[in-house]
Structure 1
Amino acid sequence: MDSISNPYTPNAGAAPEVVVGRDDLIEAFTVLLGRLERHRTEQSMIITGLRGVGKTVLLGRFGEIARAAGWEVVEIEASKHDDARFRQTMFSQLKSALLRLSPRARWTERGRRAAEVLSAFAVSVDQKGTFSVSWDVPPAEGEGDHGDLSMDLTDVFVALGEAADEQHRGVALLIDEVQFLGRTQLEALIQAVHKTVQRRLPIVFVGSGLPQIAELAGDAKSYAERLFTFPVIGSLAGDDARAALTEPARVEGVVFDDDAIDLAMQITQGYPYFIQELGYQVWAVATAGRVHRSDVEIAREAYEAKLDGSFFRVRLDRATPLQTAYLRAMAELGPEPQKAADVARVLGRESTQVGPTRAELIDMGLLYTPEHGYAAFTVPDFDEFMKRAVPELTIPELRKRERHADGDPHGRDA
């Protein structure tokens, strides 16, 4: 069929033609905005799930809802930056939000105060010094200038929230990949949101990322579990999964046979990204406005090759030989969460020897810890990919790390 009219969107964060199975979260976000507009408190949310389940798409939908309601939206993809770079990013984004709330020429006393607190936030000194401020608003004194990220960001959120409230508007901060925030950064966000809740200000923070976020947030601030909900999203089930495949095609006048849908569900297991990728490949095979089971069977090879060459491969390419061996050993044990001791046994080593490798893979976002002592892949079907990409488990030779300059004799497996 015509490639230009292909309705499937297997791209990172790209919204599909039809968003299904997330109605409860969309409704919860709409209620959240509505209650804050009425100065009533409501829990913000941090959405968790594996790669490819539609977290970024959902954040994008939240942004559309907030804009339609007259809110200013700040969208950030978190990265592993130091606190100074995080401070600069927040300053730049929140400054833009303030200017959209009210042009500088129309600032009231609250608007100007918010700008001054932002300036103080920008020039606060940390261990690496200061960074330049791209406007000439003088910094406030005693607010946003403590040199402590949590205290400073709290001052900013309160001042911005008061300026937004005066305009009968709100600010929605949507942060993707929250697991890449540093502990002090996550702690600062949680503390700042907590204060705006106490003041009943129209500031909402919604984050998304890998499943370990709930634990990270709880470690950062013990009250996080009361400040946020932590909805988990996963594969689509039943009619929702079938609709995600068939409805985009129906818009273009194309119909799937029932047995073709059944096979597609078996292949994709209902994962939203996989459905989009398989649908895209099937579209290239099918003819005459109808998709048969044989079309899905033919498209399967191209579907798996595309996943292997991009979705999966981009993650494996970042791994060292020992990290690759660890992932392959996990795949040997199966798709379920695996005990660290069992993986070490497959590698012929002690848990303490491969513990640093496991920690590195978690830090890279390739693994997460669903419970103490266990690790699982953050990408569905990654175990099968590892078996295809690395047919034989190859274990690097055991060697000791070099001594530290201070003479530390404790070597670890590298």
Structure 2
Amino acid sequence: MRISTVTMFDQSVASMNRQQSDFLKVGQQIASGRRVVNPSDDPQAASRSVGVSQAMAVTQQYADARVTARNSLAQAESVLNSVADAITSAKTLLVQAASDTLSDVDRQSVASELRGIYETLIGQANATDGNGRYLFGGYQDNSPPFARTAGEGVSGVNYVGDTNTREQRIDASRLMPVADNGKTIFQSVPSGAGYVARAEKASPGNISIGTQPDHVRNEGSVAFTSGPNRVDPNNADFGKPFELEFSSDVDGNPVYSVSVVEEDGTRTPIVTDATYVSGRTVSFGGVNITLEGTPVDGDQIQLRPANNENANQDLFKSLKDAIDLLELDQGGMDDNRAHFRNTVNTVMRELDNSLDNVLTVRASMGARLNELDVVDAVGGNRMMNYEQTLSDLVDLDYSKAIAEYSLRQVGLQAAQKAFVDVKGLSLFNFL
């Protein structure tokens, strides 16, 4: 077979180009550190690496979301820590104010301190995060969730946010609440809260706060010194509102009756005309309460479960009642002193419930922060697995690549030397 000079030249040039292309490809792999520089290098590995890269991007997005969630929860938890301290300080001041050794002026001084705590709590309830969003407004995080309402003395406070809870997806299967709404924190009680007793004085010209929707009359000097306490949660009437009313028997001795207040407002008697003895503990409906003092016919004491819709669950209202009470003159009258003790006891129980609720919400936030740490650890392990898989698919084995680089270099040099030798072949050299 006759082989022309042109054929030999073409084959030599093609061989050099092929060797140079292989040499350049290995050089690109070494320079980039990747075995698959172009999809054509390994189509299957390139396709799988795209899927792994997308999964890594999603995992990183969840990691960034967890950072945001952790910041929000940490800020809210810090605020609730301050709120719990403020409620504890308010309880301490009320214990101090309940002392019989204090004068009305002394109690007014305590009231001024309570007013400061009241203002502090409003500020904490309207706290914002670092981006100017209100922490406890639900989805309405662009305006203060608690707004003042005009009134005498200390202004009231209304919640104007919504009852939704902002959530953030921190993982593919977990949507986590990252900010509790203010109503849940400042205007609710824990599910296990017990009963709250209330007795109010409503005589014109004397102490009158009027904190209940359906007013309770109490003109005598009866005060509840202990309770209400739960004694039998299995009682058929336990958990229902009770109303205790005083009257007199035929001999003029005080007696009391207890009724269950149904949802429709009807009253079902469960105790009728029981003898009242000052200082004695009375029991009914699975609860007991210790009463002392002298009642007046028609006086009433109301006992409601703390989570009843008509019971006061508003932390700000409890403090407002306490401030209004401490700023009033007792006048040295037994009935006024009884009203003072009753209101202080009621507010103390309400503050206890509010504190328990704040601590419950704070514990929930702490649990979510712990969960974020666990999900972070899982996400970190997942990211490491993705990185290892991606490395196995597209990363370069440098020792193997360097050996191939040297081999391709020798091949290119051999092809170049062969071309030089072929180019030098000519019959004219022998003429």
Please tell me whether Structure 1 or Structure 2 has the larger radius of gyration of its CA atoms. Answer: 2
TM-score category of the 2 structures, normalised to the smaller one: under 0.3
TM-score (norm 2): 0.25
Using CA pairs under 8 Å that are at least 6 residues apart, name the structure with larger relative contact order, 1 or 2.
2
What TM-score do you get using the length of structure 1 for normalisation?
Answer: 0.25
